[in-house]
């Protein structure tokens, strides 16, 4: 397929409720939406880089710059035989995985459409069992003003039908919170996400939570660290999951070889797209590392592609892929709903991403728009 034309939108959408983490509180979300044109088809991508460089060094503004000035010019007019080919064409840019993943998502969508299959089916081609039809999901609960308030928020999501809860923690807001959550919800799968807020010296805090039967603790130590996670892991009983530290398949290899984790949260955006996410999936299956798909408060455009990834056989733990209502009142694409009886979301079955982008809504939330064609 030849990449003929690309449209880029800079969007901003208010979140249903503020999302607090160890690095700040987010009330609205900047993002980029990309439309890639080829053979009369349109492939969609979402760039999850946002307002500030808290989780990743990339922001929506840096991603726009890298896309406009480097990645898009190196792709326009190029002929690709398969979606994987885009990785080589983007290799002259170091880093910036969130910018790269935007294009990677769009090219996978285009090839799936060309072949008349869903994004999930296209991605699952190497696996005889094919993609799952529904994927297990949970909800990520941001930091709240008090423990009581957190318990209330958890209760709300449990009432909605969510079967797995993730709590954001930070120093001073950890043990007491986890204990209260466990007391109030004795049988609920509960996990914690520290977003890199601790140091190895804090091991006793995690040891004190050993008896809470937590599903896992996600990224307790530095965002670039793998080494000290390998020291922390044998000191604690709770399974250790890495998020921020795994930015490529090589990093997954480092973590596996150093025995730094039991579980990896795979965000396709963080690793530069779906091709690399699938490589990490295969590597982890071979090495007994459990997997789930993480989230970045995606709109429906990104969520459809998250669901497709989560449909691969190795993703056995519930993902951070919640229903649209948990994020946005009025999304730019088809809404997703929770199947309450088993805390799953149905993977779109239509061709490509299997969603409808609401162009009026997209224009309405865009502050900037650009169109790129080969000169
Ligand atoms: O660390 O997993 C994270 C959201 C933004 C940035 C980082 C993270 C998150 C979440 C939300 O936990 C997951 C979701 O999209 O529901
Ligand atoms: Mg995380």
Query: Which residues are close to ligand 2, an ion, with C-beta < 5 A?
Result: 193, 218, 243
State if residue 302 touches ligand 1 by the CB under 6 angstroms criterion.
no
User: CATH 3.20.20.120 occupies which residues in the chain?
Assistant: 123-346
The one catalytic residue in 2, 132, 168, 368 is 168
State if residue 295 touches ligand 1 by the CB under 6 angstroms criterion.
yes
* pLDDT over threshold 90, residue 158: yes
pLDDT of residue 173: 96
Q: Using H for helix, E for strand and C for coil, what is the string for the chain?
A: CECCEEEEEEEEEEEEEEEEECCEEEEEEEEEEEEEEECCEEEEEEECCECCCCCCCCEHHHHHHHHHHHHHHHHCCCECCCCCHHHHHCCCCCCCHHHHHHHHHHHHHHHHHHHCCEHHHHHCCCCCCCCCCEEEECEEECCCCCHHHHHHHHHHHHHHCCCCEEEECECCECHHHHHHHHHHCCCCCEEEECCCCCCHHHHHHHHCCHHHCCCCEECCCCCCCCHHHHHHHHHCCCCEEECCCCCCHHHHHHHHHCCCCCEEEECCHHHCCHHHHHHHHHHHHHCCCEEEECCCCCCHHHHHHHHHHHCCCCECCCECCCCHHHCCCCCCECCCCCECCCCEEECCCCCECCCCECHHHHHHHEEEEEEEECC
* pLDDT over threshold 90, residue 114: yes
Model confidence over 180-228: pLDDT tens digits?
A: 999 999 999 999 999 999 999 999 999 999 999 999 999 999 999 999 9
Known catalytic residue: 168?
yes
* pLDDT over threshold 90, residue 299: yes
Q: What value does the mean pLDDT of the chain take? A: 97
Could you tell me the distance, in angstroms and rounded to a whole number, from the CA of residue 21 to the centre of ligand 1?
A: 9
Q: CATH classification of 5-116+358-373, choosing from 3.30.390.10, 3.30.360.10, 2.70.70.10, 3.40.1500.10?
A: 3.30.390.10
% of the chain exceeding 90 in pLDDT: 99
Q: pTM above 0.95?
A: yes
pLDDT tier for residue 374 given thresholds of 50, 70 and 90: confident
* pLDDT over threshold 90, residue 150: yes
Model confidence over 38-85: pLDDT tens digits?
A: 999 999 999 999 999 999 999 999 999 999 999 999 999 999 999 999
Closest-CA residue, ligand 1 atom 4, reads: 296
State if residue 322 touches ligand 1 by the CB under 6 angstroms criterion.
yes
% of the chain exceeding 70 in pLDDT: 100
Model confidence over 80-107: pLDDT tens digits?
A: 999 999 999 999 999 999 999 999 999 9
Residue among 24, 143, 300, 320 whose CB has most ligand 1 atoms within 8 A, to mutate: 320
User: CATH 3.30.390.10 occupies which residues in the chain?
Assistant: 5-116+358-373
Model confidence over 115-130: pLDDT tens digits?
A: 999 999 999 999 999 9
pLDDT of residue 375: 78
Domain 123-346 of CATH type 3.40.50.11890: no
Known catalytic residue: 369?
no
Could you tell me the distance, in angstroms and rounded to a whole number, from the CA of residue 39 to the centre of ligand 1?
A: 35
Mean pLDDT of 143-154: 97
């Amino acid at each position: 397929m030849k990449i003929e034309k690309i449209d880029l939108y800079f969007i901003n959408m208010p979140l249903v409720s503020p999302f607090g983490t160890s690095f700040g509180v987010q009330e609205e979300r900047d993002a980029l939406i990309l439309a890639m044109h080829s053979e009369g088809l349109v492939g969609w991508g979402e760039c999850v880089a946002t307002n500030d460089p808290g989780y990743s060094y990339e922001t929506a503004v840096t991603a726009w710059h890298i896309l406009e000035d480097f990645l898009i010019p190196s792709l326009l007019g190029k002929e690709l035989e398969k979606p994987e080919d885009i990785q080589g064409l983007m290799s002259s840019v170091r880093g910036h995985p969130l910018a790269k993943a935007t294009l990677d998502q769009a090219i996978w969508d285009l090839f799936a459409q060309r072949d008349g299959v869903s994004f999930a089916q296209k991605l699952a081609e190497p696996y005889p069992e094919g993609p799952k039809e529904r994927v297990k999901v949970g909800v990520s609960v941001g930091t709240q003003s008090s423990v009581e308030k957190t318990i209330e928020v958890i209760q709300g999501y449990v009432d909605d039908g969510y079967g797995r809860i993730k709590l954001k923690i930070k120093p001073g807001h950890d043990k007491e919170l986890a204990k209260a959550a466990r007391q109030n919800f004795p049988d609920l799968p509960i996990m914690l996400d520290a977003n890199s807020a601790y140091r190895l010296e804090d091991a006793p805090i995690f040891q004190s939570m050993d008896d809470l039967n937590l599903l896992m603790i996600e990224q307790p130590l530095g965002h670039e660290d793998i080494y000290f996670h390998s020291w922390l892991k044998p000191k604690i009983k709770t399974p250790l999951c890495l998020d921020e530290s795994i930015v490529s398949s090589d990093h997954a290899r480092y973590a596996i070889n150093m025995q730094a984790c039991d579980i990896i949260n795979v965000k396709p955006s963080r690793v530069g797209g779906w091709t690399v996410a699938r490589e990490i999936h295969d590597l982890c299956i071979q090495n007994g590392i459990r997997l789930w798909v993480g989230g970045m408060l995606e709109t429906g455009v990104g969520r459809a592609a998250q669901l497709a990834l989560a449909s691969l056989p190795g993703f056995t733990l519930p993902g951070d892929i919640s229903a649209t209502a948990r994020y946005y009142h009025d999304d730019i694409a088809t809404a997703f709903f929770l199947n309450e009886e088993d805390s799953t979301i149905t993977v779109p079955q239509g061709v490509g991403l299997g969603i409808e982008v609401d162009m009026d809504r997209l224009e309405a939330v865009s502050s900037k728009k650009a169109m790129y064609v080969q000169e």
